[in-house]
């Protein structure tokens, strides 16, 4: 590993010499209570932001036998798990079917829906068109949506036309001299071989050209569609039933999987009520530790980080109740939790989903500074004074969205939704916006917040007492939980001495050294703190998709020169 930065003319590699050890608050069969793991895990991230899990890292699927529309199912999965189910292979399809079991026969929602932009991808799932293409002159056509190979290059053709095709068999390519359309050729290859060919580079193109007739017209796995996954996964695997999907947009824009037709997919109206499948780890509870010592908030934070994981993070009402119950009987007062005023305002969601996603539906000129709570008028958002009384939209785990026509303040509406449903509604997709596009002004779960968790958790669940936090920070910048007021929170001076709650289990701490290597073209600045935070967020997204985000705490560790990354030439000469 280079000790000093060296210039590279084309591609730079940056190596983080020793990222901070990762605390794991779960048991490990072979390393329970162990120290630093001997193995080093090397990860390659592209600065373009592309980070893809290997197919071997299977998602956990969860069948939800509750009938909801596609947007409501999406909200449910995002609140309880990670998202609606994503599939990238026939193995995934079989596991989806197995998750449903024999108790239900019909269609179930998965995470695929029609997008607005058509893209080229490969039948086997790869999305490598941006890295390599071999189009013939004048291609791809704007009208044809399937690709074939002829005279050594890629060309496009009407998918319903009949030509020969090639199949990938695991080690090479087989030419089939049977007349089939593209979809039938795909099905044949998947049944008798692996799939239609995918061509990643010039070597593979030369390999297939040497295995088939040069002047034959052969279907390959190249196709174009406008469908996209709810979690923005870029994988192109599709498993349509015969005659699917519907070519018309608008009436059939969401995808269901048939449990009686070998897991094949079909497009349906997004408003159809049917069961669905989520993926991701269930949100398992924190292990809380009550500490009967009076300390300031910073001292309590240091104590928790040294002996457990951090000061308590709270994501749900269940967490609040467990915190109240863990405090010693007879104690009546406030205890520190891990929430602190960070000073930077962000619009976030009451349900705890975090900051705004890629979807936002502000009216022009909004937010305008009129208030700290968000309303929706015919689907578009405005900021309002939280004391304004309006009808409101709740989300319920079991029934989806519910419009409550009784006018309340935002805080009272939040309390009502949490008591009778789950919480105020999160609107994080175009489909969910359309569901309320005919409704006049009502509260949604959006609110302005400047608070953040000590462990950097981005989830935004808050449980303030009615008059908290004050509009000014004069009273203090740290949060305490009242054991005598149903666990509600209030703002205090961080120097106040009081008991506190940590999370994590000190008997189950494993540490793992993880080395990170980044590759990028041209000039890169990975030691920029903003970029380093973005890298950690991307890694945490993947941990979250595996249900591990609460089991680990990751951060960068600086070397002696106070930098995290050091530049190498590419390929490195000493690593």
How many C-beta atoms lie closer than 10 Å to residue 132's C-beta?
12
| Residue 452 CB contacts under 8 Å (≥ 6 apart), including other chains | 339, 340, 342
Cα(141)–Cα(148) distance, rounded to whole angstroms? Answer: 12
Can you list the domains of the chain with their CATH numbers? 13-57+508-568 (no CATH), 61-279 (3.10.100.10), 288-503 (3.10.100.10)
C-beta of residue 422 within 8 angstroms of C-beta of residue 395: yes
- By CB atoms closer than 10 A (0-12, 13-18, 19+), residue 251 is exposed
Helices (H), 331-439: 410-420, 430-435
Asked if residue 159 lies in contact with residue 180, where contact means CB atoms within 8 angstroms, the answer is no
b (16+ CB within 10 A) / e for 326-343: ebeeeeeebbbbbbbbee
C-alpha dist (Å) from residue 179 to 106, 144, 217, 341, 409: 33, 18, 10, 67, 67
Residue 510 reports pLDDT greater than 60: no
Query: Please, which contacts does 462-468 make with residues 24 or more away whose CB atoms are closer than 8 Å?
Result: 462/339, 462/350, 462/489, 463/314, 463/317, 463/320, 463/487, 463/488, 463/489, 464/411, 464/488, 464/489, 464/490, 465/489, 465/490, 466/411
Measure the CA–CA gap between 459 and 349, rounded to whole angstroms.
9
468: CB partners within 8 A, 6+ apart: 488, 489, 490, 491
Beta carbons within 8 Å of 37's beta carbon, 6+ residues apart: 31, 510, 511, 512, 513
Neighbours of 510 (CB within 10 A): 22
The predicted structure's pLDDT at residue 32 = 26
Range scoring the smallest mean pLDDT among 76-80, 160-164, 297-301, 404-408 = 76-80
For residue 350, the model assigns a pLDDT of 87
As a whole number of Å, the end-to-end CA separation of the chain is 5
Confidence label for 284 from pLDDT (cuts 50, 70 and 90): low
Region 341-348 average pLDDT: 82
Q: What is the mean pLDDT of residues 107-111?
A: 96
Q: Is the pLDDT confidence value at 28 over 50? A: no
pLDDT surpasses 60 at 45? no
Give the residues across from 167 on adjacent strands. Answer: 174
Q: State the pLDDT at residue 281.
A: 66
- Work out the burial of residue 53: count CB atoms within 10 Å of its CB; fewer than 13 is exposed, 13-18 middle, 19 or more buried: middle
Residue owning tokens 């095709």: 165
Stronger pLDDT, 45 or 192, i.e. the higher one: 192
Closest among 288, 289, 291, 287 to 499, alpha carbons compared: 291
Q: Quick one: pLDDT band at residue 151, thresholds 50, 70, 90?
A: very high
Q: Is the pLDDT score of 514 beyond 70?
A: no
Taking residues 26-47, what's their average pLDDT? Answer: 30
**Which of residues 540 and 95 earns the better pLDDT score?**
95
Note the pLDDT of residue 543.
66
Token pair listed for 273: 């009520």
What are the DSSP E strand ranges found in 316-365? 334-349
Instruction: Identify the sign of the CA torsion 526, 527, 531, 535.
Output: positive
1 has pLDDT over 80: no
Classify residue 232 as left (phi > 0), alpha (psi -120 to 50) or beta: left
476 pLDDT higher than 80: no
The Cα–Cα gap between 504 and 289 comes to 7
- Non-local (6+) Cβ contacts of 291 within 8 A are 300, 303, 304, 499, 500, 501, 502
DSSP 183-232: HHHHHHHHHHSSBS----SHHHHHHHHHHS-TT--EEEEEEEEEEEETT-
Q: Which two tokens stand for residue 374?
A: 């968000």
pLDDT score at 545: 56
């Amino acid at each position: 590993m280079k000790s000093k930065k060296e210039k590279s003319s084309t591609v730079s590699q940056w190596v983080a010499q020793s990222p901070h050890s990762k605390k794991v608050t779960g048991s490990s069969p072979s390393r329970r209570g162990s120290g630093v793991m001997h193995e080093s895990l090397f990860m390659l991230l592209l600065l373009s932001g592309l980070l893809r899990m290997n197919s071997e890292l299977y998602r956990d699927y969860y069948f939800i036998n509750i009938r909801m529309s596609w947007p409501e199912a999406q909200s449910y999965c995002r609140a309880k798990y990670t998202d609606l189910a994503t599939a990238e292979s026939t193995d995934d399809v079989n596991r989806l079917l197995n998750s449903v079991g024999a108790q239900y026969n019909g269609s179930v929602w998965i995470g695929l829906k029609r997008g607005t932009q058509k893209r080229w991808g490969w039948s086997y799932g790869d999305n490598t068109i941006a890295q390599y293409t071999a189009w013939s002159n004048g291609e791809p056509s704007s009208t044809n949506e399937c690709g074939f190979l002829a005279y050594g290059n890629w060309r496009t053709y009407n998918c319903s036309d009949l030509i020969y095709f090639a199949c990938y068999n695991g080690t090479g390519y087989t030419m089939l001299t049977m007349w089939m359309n593209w979809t039938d050729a795909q099905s044949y290859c998947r049944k008798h071989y692996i799939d239609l060919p995918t061509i990643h580079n010039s070597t593979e193109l030369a390999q297939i050209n040497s295995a088939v007739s040069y002047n034959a017209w052969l279907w390959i796995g190249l196709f174009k569609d406008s469908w996209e996954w709810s979690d923005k996964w870029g994988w192109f695997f599709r498993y349509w039933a015969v005659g699917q999907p519907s070519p018309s947009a608008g009436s059939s824009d969401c995808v269901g999987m048939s449990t009686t037709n070998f897991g094949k997919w079909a497009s349906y109206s997004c408003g159809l009520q049917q069961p669905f499948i989520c993926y991701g780890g269930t949100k398992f509870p924190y292990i809380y530790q009550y500490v009967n010592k009076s300390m300031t908030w910073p001292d309590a934070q240091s104590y928790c980080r040294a002996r457990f994981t951090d000061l308590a993070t709270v994501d749900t009402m269940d967490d609040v109740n467990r915190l109240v119950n863990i405090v010693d009987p007879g104690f009546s007062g406030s205890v520190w939790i891990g929430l602190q005023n960070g000073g930077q305002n962000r619009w976030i969601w009451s349900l705890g989903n975090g900051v705004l996603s890629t979807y936002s539906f502000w009216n022009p000129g909004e937010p305008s500074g009129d208030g700290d709570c968000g309303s929706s008028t015919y689907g578009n958002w405005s900021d309002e004074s939280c004391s304004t009384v309006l009808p409101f939209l709740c989300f319920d785990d079991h029934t989806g969205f519910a419009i409550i026509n009784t006018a309340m303040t935002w805080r009272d509406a939040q309390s009502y939704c949490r008591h009778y449903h789950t919480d105020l509604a999160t609107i994080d997709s175009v489909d969910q916006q359309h569901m309320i596009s005919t409704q006049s002004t009502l509260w949604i779960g959006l609110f302005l917040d400047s608070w953040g968790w000590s462990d950097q958790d981005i989830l935004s669940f808050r449980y303030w007492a009615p008059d908290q936090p004050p509009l000014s920070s004069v009273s203090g910048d740290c949060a305490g939980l009242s054991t005598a007021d149903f666990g509600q929170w209030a703002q205090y001076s961080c120097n106040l001495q009081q008991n506190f709650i940590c999370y994590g289990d000190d008997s189950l701490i494993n540490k793992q050294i993880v080395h990170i290597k980044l590759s990028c073209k041209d000039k890169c600045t990975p030691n920029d703190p903003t970029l380093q935070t973005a890298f950690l967020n991307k890694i945490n997204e993947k941990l979250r998709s595996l249900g591990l985000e609460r089991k680990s705490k990751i951060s960068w560790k600086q070397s002696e020169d106070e930098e995290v990354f050091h530049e190498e030439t590419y390929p490195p000469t000493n690593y």
